[in-house]
């Protein structure tokens, strides 16, 4: 009997050792792949009607100096932490230090990342720790000023950037939601009747629901319910989201409904404004603003896509000098089309026409070449002079300039430093009548769909042209590898669509200077705008900020 027991014990022990060795062999030689932050399943572990609640979890009792917040996983394993609007952080406290505290005593430094408006919310960014990349579900961190480690309770799952209502903007009649993860590709749009807007209750059960009228790109427009339908809870803040009607599933949301501003005394609209999305353009901005202001742009609206240079300081200096420049914090990655859609509503009460060009683009007309001085009527003369023309969009062709043998940013500015371009024009940029923009807000490459009854006018290169200083000195150009701003353009470091017109001919998939870069794209010397701006502005010394390295 004792012999049988010993035999059974030895056999069982051997089986355990054998199975354990198999387990370790599998995990050592067949490790689980690290999950990509840009190709994650949409909330695989959470309830379909997951409601966003700021991350309280009795934090004050568990983690000293913790701050209620909600967190989103962005591309490249960045975590965006949005502080609850109910607990704003005083400006003198924002400098920190702050920490993102994850379960299992894992932490990551948190850095200030700007502010979200309506309602005002402070944001921070931290890296999602590598040790957690293979563990699903990904937990939200607790934002704290204390570096002390604590044993945290079960954390809610990180929200995903690829499935999120991230912003909104209102008119007097409706509200536009900006949503990732529903209309995935250019031209592939789901029907508006597949969705409903949900005001108030995040879970879609008790919220007020209204009709969605348009669904294009990342923009969904909704009817506004009667104000009597809302309760007075939440300090007047009304969360707004989108419900997929058939699945009864509500998209997680960071957006709030803010009624459109009612102006008691209407101010006259500026005839011509300019809008662009920017990232670290402090050294270029003054040249661009001063030039376009001198030829007729009344106001500039900059959508700041996470700049970390001296942009704020340069804008403050321009404002002090009398230029009308506004910065809107727009941290959302790959959302240029959505940003321009937002601007078509945001600026409609203050601007009649909007020029959509980048900071490396300068508009001029060859007819100005003999003008001794710039005039505020120059650009405005390109616009239709009669409303009866029903022209809603003026399109201007682009000439693309090459590095022109410049090895660093030209001290005198881009108009003086780059003088050699491709021979043929490529693409165009637009000046748009905001009242003529279609309700869908659909736009592609600085070009909007117009309401029925309006038409476009394309100008000849003899009448107007955009000098696009696209292929600059390599030290400047390589920053384009950071991340393409369009939602529908592949990032250059992804080995996809190598023949795309968005890619630079001869450029690989890594930010390494191609051989012969200094002489590339030089087919024709063109110094017309260079000579014109030198005559107008002198350039006896470098313009402020132009020569500084940020």
**Using 50, 70 and 90 to split pLDDT, how confident is the model at 171?**
very high
444: CB partners within 8 A, 6+ apart: 186, 337, 488
Q: In the prediction, which pLDDT does 202 show?
A: 61
Pick 202 or 271 by higher pLDDT. 271
For residue range 511-538, list pLDDT tens digits in order.
678 889 999 999 999 999 999 999 999 8
Q: In the prediction, which pLDDT does 299 show?
A: 98
The encoded tokens of residue 110 equal 């948190």
> Best-predicted range by mean pLDDT among 6-15, 150-159, 392-401, 440-449?
392-401
**CA contacts within 13 A on the Cβ side of 11:** 6
The whole-angstrom separation of Cα 383 and Cα 398 is: 18
510: CB partners within 8 A, 6+ apart: 481, 493
Q: In the prediction, which pLDDT does 76 show?
A: 86
Burial level of 126, CB count in 10 A (0-12/13-18/19+)?
buried
Average pLDDT over residues 295-322: 96
The whole-angstrom separation of Cα 296 and Cα 319 is: 17
Q: Is the distance from CB of 505 to CB of 378 less than 8 angstroms?
A: no
For residue range 201-237, list pLDDT tens digits in order.
666 667 899 999 999 999 999 999 886 666 555 557 8
Distances, alpha carbon 362 to alpha carbons 284, 386, 510, in Å: 12, 26, 29
Q: In the prediction, which pLDDT does 545 show?
A: 53
The whole-angstrom separation of Cα 543 and Cα 409 is: 13
- Start-to-end Cα distance in the chain: 84
Pick 117 or 213 by higher pLDDT. 213
> Best-predicted range by mean pLDDT among 104-108, 153-157, 394-398?
394-398
Q: In the prediction, which pLDDT does 254 show?
A: 95
Q: In the prediction, which pLDDT does 215 show?
A: 96
The whole-angstrom separation of Cα 146 and Cα 144 is: 5
Q: In the prediction, which pLDDT does 388 show?
A: 87
pLDDT at 393 over 70: yes
pLDDT at 349 over 80: yes
The conformational region for residue 85 under phi > 0 = left, psi -120 to 50 = alpha, else beta, is: alpha
Pick 539 or 274 by higher pLDDT. 274
**Using 50, 70 and 90 to split pLDDT, how confident is the model at 408?**
very high
Q: Is the distance from CB of 100 to CB of 79 less than 8 angstroms?
A: yes
Average pLDDT over residues 344-354: 96
Q: Backbone phi, then psi, for 291, in 5-degree steps?
A: -65, -55
The whole-angstrom separation of Cα 9 and Cα 24 is: 23
Q: In the prediction, which pLDDT does 446 show?
A: 84
Q: Residue by residue, what is the 3-state secondary structure of 44-112? A: CCCCCCCCCCCCCCCHHHHCCCEECEEEEEEHHHEEEEEECCCCCCCHHHCCCCEEEEECCCEEEEEEE
Q: In the prediction, which pLDDT does 29 show?
A: 32
The encoded tokens of residue 514 equal 């191609």
Q: How many CB atoms lie within 10 A of CB 511?
A: 15
Q: Over pLDDT 70: what percentage of the chain? A: 74
pLDDT at 53 over 50: no
Q: In the prediction, which pLDDT does 333 show?
A: 87
pTM of the predicted model as reported, rounded to 2 decimal places: 0.84
Q: What is the pLDDT of the chain when averaged over all its residues?
A: 82
Pick 151 or 536 by higher pLDDT. 536
Q: In the prediction, which pLDDT does 538 show?
A: 87
Q: Secondary structure of the chain: what % helix, strand, coil (to 5)?
A: 20, 30, 50
Average pLDDT over residues 411-432: 94
Burial level of 29, CB count in 10 A (0-12/13-18/19+)?
exposed
The whole-angstrom separation of Cα 226 and Cα 173 is: 11
Helical spans, DSSP H, in 409-527: 414-417, 474-477
273: CB partners within 8 A, 6+ apart: 297, 298, 299, 300, 301, 347, 350, 351, 353, 354, 355
For residue range 174-203, list pLDDT tens digits in order.
999 999 999 876 666 899 999 999 998 666
Burial level of 186, CB count in 10 A (0-12/13-18/19+)?
middle
pLDDT at 493 over 50: no
> Best-predicted range by mean pLDDT among 26-40, 123-137, 248-262, 507-521?
123-137
For residue range 425-441, list pLDDT tens digits in order.
988 999 999 999 999 99
The whole-angstrom separation of Cα 128 and Cα 132 is: 7
**Using 50, 70 and 90 to split pLDDT, how confident is the model at 101?**
very high
Pick 370 or 204 by higher pLDDT. 370
């Amino acid at each position: 009997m004792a012999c049988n027991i010993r035999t059974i014990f030895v056999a069982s022990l051997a089986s355990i050792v054998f199975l354990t060795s198999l387990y370790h062999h599998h995990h050592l030689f067949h490790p689980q792949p690290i999950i990509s932050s840009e190709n994650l399943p949409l909330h695989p572990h959470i309830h379909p009607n997951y409601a966003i609640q700021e991350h309280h979890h009795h934090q004050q009792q568990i983690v000293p100096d913790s701050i209620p917040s909600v967190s989103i996983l962005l591309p490249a394993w960045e975590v965006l932490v949005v502080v609850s609007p109910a607990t704003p952080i005083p400006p003198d406290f924002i400098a920190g230090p702050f920490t993102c505290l994850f379960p299992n005593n894992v932490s990551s430094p948190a850095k200030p990342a700007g502010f979200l408006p309506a309602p005002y919310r402070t944001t921070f960014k931290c890296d999602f720790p590598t040790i957690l990349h293979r563990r699903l579900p990904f937990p939200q961190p607790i934002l704290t000023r204390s570096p002390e480690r604590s044993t945290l309770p079960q954390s809610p799952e990180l929200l995903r950037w690829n499935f999120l209502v991230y912003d909104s903007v209102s008119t007097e009649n409706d509200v536009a939601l900006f949503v990732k993860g529903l209309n995935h590709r250019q031209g592939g749009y789901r029907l508006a009747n597949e969705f409903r807007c949900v005001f108030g209750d995040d879970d879609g059960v008790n919220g007020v629901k209204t009709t969605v009228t348009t669904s294009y790109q990342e923009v969904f427009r909704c009817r506004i319910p009667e104000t009597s339908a809302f309760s007075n809870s939440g300090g007047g803040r009304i969360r707004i989201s989108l419900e997929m009607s058939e699945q009864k599933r509500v998209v997680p949301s960071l957006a709030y409904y803010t009624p459109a501003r009612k102006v008691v005394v209407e101010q006259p609209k500026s005839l011509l404004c300019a809008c662009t999305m920017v990232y670290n353009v402090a050294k270029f901005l003054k040249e661009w603003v001063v030039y376009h202001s001198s030829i007729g742009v009344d106001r500039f609206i900059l959508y700041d896509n996470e700049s970390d240079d001296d942009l704020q300081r340069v804008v403050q200096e321009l404002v002090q000098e009398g230029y009308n420049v506004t910065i809107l914090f727009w941290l959302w990655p790959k959302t240029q089309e959505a940003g321009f859609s937002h601007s078509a509503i945001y600026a409609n009460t203050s601007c009649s026409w909007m020029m959509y060009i980048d900071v490396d683009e300068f508009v001029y007309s060859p007819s100005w070449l003999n003008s001794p001085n710039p005039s505020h009527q120059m650009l405005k003369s390109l616009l239709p002079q009669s409303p009866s023309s029903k022209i809603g969009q003026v399109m201007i062709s682009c000439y693309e300039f090459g590095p022109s043998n410049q090895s660093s940013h030209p001290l005198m500015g881009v108009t003086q430093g780059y003088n050699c371009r491709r021979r043929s024009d490529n693409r165009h940029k637009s000046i748009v009548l905001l009242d003529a923009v279609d309700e869908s807000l659909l736009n592609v490459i600085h070009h909007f769909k117009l309401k029925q009854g309006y038409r476009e006018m394309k100008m000849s290169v003899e009448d107007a042209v955009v000098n696009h200083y696209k292929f600059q000195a390599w030290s400047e150009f390589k920053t384009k590898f950071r991340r393409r701003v369009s939602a529908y353009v592949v990032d250059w470091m992804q080995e996809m669509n190598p023949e795309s017109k968005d890619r630079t001919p001869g450029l690989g998939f890594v930010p390494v200077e191609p051989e012969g870069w200094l002489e590339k794209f030089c087919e024709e010397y063109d110094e017309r705008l260079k000579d014109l701006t030198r005559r107008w502005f002198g350039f006896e010394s470098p313009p402020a900020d132009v020569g500084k390295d940020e």
